[in-house]
Amino acid sequence: MADTFLGYPRADGQVGIRNYLLMLSGTLYANTLCERVADMLVNTIPIVHPLGRCQVKPDLALTFKTLVGHGCNPNAGGVVVVDHFKEEGCTADEIAEEIAKTGKPVEVVNIRREGGLINALDKALHAGMRILRDISTQRREEVPVSKLLFGINCGTSDATSGLAHNPATGYCSDLIINQGGRTIMAETMEMIGAEDVMLARCKNQQVADKLAAAIKQIEQEAIDAGADIRGSQPTGDNIVGGLSSIEEKSLGAIKKSGTAQVVDVLEYADRPGEEPGLYVMNSPGHGGESITGIAAGGAQILVFSTGGGHTINHPLMITLRVTGNPISYEKMRDTTDVSVADIFEGTSIAEAGQRIYDEVLATASGKMTTAEIIKEYNAFAIHRIGPSI
């Protein structure tokens, strides 16, 4: 019998593990209003950023796709989209129109159209109150694990990463996929040096070709920018943690993906298909940007495995921090959810992976993470392609 969790079924077939009102800023100049409303209303999460204006068209389109993806994420039960004036191609009306296709309640506030900040704040508060009263009647229901879209990411990697928390996270991912679920793995940069291993896991040559092209592309972009990846990777904290080369780092990083077949390669912020398996999202190694892409793709929950310890936490996609480094766990207990450091004392990868999996299901059913409790939201960063104009 498949395992289950308690979630919020949505009209479009997705299942949320939280039932937030999302205050979604369309542009830098709407950020303060979104944060003020979120401060005043219960169960409300703001998403703010510095973009949405003066971007080259490909960048503006990526900002639009990322914002829409967050509005469509099933952890948002309803959305209020706020913008300042009118940036064709990324207006609040355009964003809301796409989000509304999910069937969830969506309202729009335009600061200029409402006659200034005070009037817009009043409208946003009342819109938020209406949506919250509406979605507060929804109740959790038992649903199969196949409804999980699981995110995986790692950071501040060290010598314990490839030996402990990454393989344990991979075991957890395999458990989810084996029951019909899906996993999104990002950070294309951290596959350089481990290409052959990942390509051998692709379901067919077409997927393998897409993955090889993505890895080559991201390295070429760095070269074109005048950067030598093999001079900047591993990073300083990786080296302090005992990693000697980009190949060693990558071989440890990919262990968090388990053993499942790679069924497709996604562009940044794309939603995966319905086929169970591992999806690789073409994204940079920057944690905030890669995690934001995964959330825009619809993942409800993410395990962030870390050697040196990390405070990273996405505001909408629930983020579990896992470490296998006993020193990091002692230093970072207030933002760490699971320790698998006992792997170095004889606990098997399977036992540790099961512990992570059990925590994922408990969190999906409503258990709060350490970062949720202290409201530590710091990992929303939209990837950029070109310069500001």
pLDDT tens string 345-365: 999 999 999 999 999 999 999
The two three-digit tokens of residue 169, written as one number: 């996270």
Name the least confident of 8-17, 93-102, 377-386. Answer: 377-386
Domain assignment of residue 5, yes or no: no
Per-residue confidence (pLDDT) for residue 219, from 0 to 100: 82
Identify the domain boundary among 135, 168, 183. 135
The answer on 345 and 203 residing in a single domain is yes
The answer on 187 and 108 residing in a single domain is no
The answer on 179 and 118 residing in a single domain is no
Q: Provide the 10 A C-beta neighbour count for residue 351.
A: 14
d(Cα 191, Cα 253) in Å, to the nearest integer?
8
pLDDT reading at 230 higher than 60: no
Domain assignment of residue 317, yes or no: yes
The answer on 292 and 165 residing in a single domain is yes
Per-residue confidence (pLDDT) for residue 236, from 0 to 100: 56
Identify the domain boundary among 82, 111, 135. 135
The answer to whether 148 touches 181, Cβ cutoff 8 Å, is yes
The answer on 248 and 108 residing in a single domain is no
The answer on 239 and 334 residing in a single domain is yes
The answer to whether 37 touches 60, Cβ cutoff 8 Å, is no
Q: Can you give the pTM of this predicted structure?
A: 0.95
Q: How far is CA 209 from CA 94, 204, 226, in A?
A: 35, 9, 26
Give 7's pLDDT tier (boundaries 50, 70, 90): very high
- Provide the residue count of the chain: 389
Identify the domain boundary among 90, 109, 135. 135
Higher pLDDT, 198 or 388: 198
Domain assignment of residue 202, yes or no: yes
Domain assignment of residue 235, yes or no: yes
The answer on 124 and 108 residing in a single domain is yes
The answer on 88 and 187 residing in a single domain is no
Count of structural domains within the chain? 2
pLDDT reading at 296 higher than 80: yes
pLDDT reading at 234 higher than 70: no
pLDDT reading at 228 higher than 70: no
Q: How far is CA 205 from CA 238, 270, 336, in A?
A: 33, 21, 39
The answer on 202 and 129 residing in a single domain is no
The answer on 255 and 303 residing in a single domain is yes
Q: What is the CATH number of the domain that holds 42?
A: 3.40.50.2300
pLDDT reading at 232 higher than 80: no
In angstroms, how far is the first alpha carbon of the chain from the final one?
56
Domain assignment of residue 229, yes or no: yes
Domain assignment of residue 13, yes or no: no
The answer on 147 and 94 residing in a single domain is no
> Average model confidence (pLDDT) for the chain?
93
Residue-wise pLDDT for 166-216, tens only, equals 999 999 999 999 999 999 999 998 898 899 999 999 999 999 999 999 999
Domain assignment of residue 91, yes or no: yes
Domain assignment of residue 290, yes or no: yes
The mean per-residue pLDDT over the stretch 305-318 comes to 94
Percent of the chain predicted with pLDDT > 90? 82
pLDDT reading at 11 higher than 80: yes
The answer on 157 and 231 residing in a single domain is yes
Q: Which domain holds residue 108?
A: 20-135
Q: Which residues pair with 156 in a beta bridge?
A: none
Q: How far is CA 221 from CA 58, 93, 224, 284, in A?
A: 16, 34, 5, 11
